[in-house]
Amino acid sequence: MRRIARVSVIVVVLVACASPRLARAALSDIGQEPQVDSGKNVVGTTVGIDGAVVAWSLGYARGVPLPIDRQLVLHTRLTLPMTRPDFGDWKWAGGVRMNAVQWRGFAWPLSLAVVARGMSNASVRAMGMGTELLTMPGYYPRRWFVAGEVSWDQEWGTHVRHSDAYREWVYAGVHDGWYRNTGFTMRYGARVGGRPWKHLELWARAGYEQHGRFDIVLPPLYALLGLDFRF
């Protein structure tokens, strides 16, 4: 009976550890960059399915004019799961976005962000650090847009602290500390949106995501809805 219990706990631990780390809500950024007519500031929220969980996020962005015909968009976002929300599982991202190419209605925005993630359960407490690179080439007239997107979300290191229950039931010799290159997610999809009112933008993004070794654990699809208010 003790052996059966050990096997059951190992299975539960593997699923619990893999899912939160990979069920990472994508860096939602914003739809279009801030416009002169609607203001430099953007407050936005997103909700949707990403990595087998329903996640909610709240973010802020601000456009900073540059000497060239471009602007640098500073953005930050906090994300929490909606299934059983708690502050043990979270994600924070902060970075910059700029149009690498801009010609008439066509633009090729690039976004680079630093990403921090935390998770906790009965087995482990972990915090990871990584980066996400997002590119969104498409057609961006003033009041609406349609674009493709490709992103690379790389976890460069994760600090793990195991519980006493994990050491007793799974592996007594497990080491706490930093583990490097602990996971990645590639996303390939599309986004579309528009401003039905001057200061309000609605948009959506969806596509396929690749989780490395854990595609068998999590559905390889994501779909998010966004709402931005500009001022």
Q: What is the tens place of the pLDDT at every residue in 7-56?
A: 333 333 433 444 443 334 455 678 999 998 999 999 999 999 876 678 89
**Calpha distance 224→210 (Å, rounded):** 16
Q: What would you report as the CA-atom Rg of the chain, rounded to the nearest whole angstrom?
A: 20
Strand bridging mode 177-197 / 53-65: unpaired
Strand bridging mode 124-135 / 138-139: unpaired
- Residue 26 · residue 151 · CB < 8 Å: yes
Domains and CATH numbers, the chain: 2-230 (2.40.128)
**Calpha distance 68→3 (Å, rounded):** 67
Q: Please, which pLDDT band fits residue 217 given cuts at 50, 70 and 90?
A: low
Q: Using one digit for the tens of pLDDT, what is the confidence trace for 158-205? A: 999 998 888 889 888 888 999 888 788 899 999 999 999 999 999 999
**Can you give the pTM of this predicted structure?**
0.83
Per-residue pLDDT at 178? 92
- Residue 57 · residue 81 · CB < 8 Å: no
Dihedral sign of CA atoms 197, 200, 201, 202 in order: negative
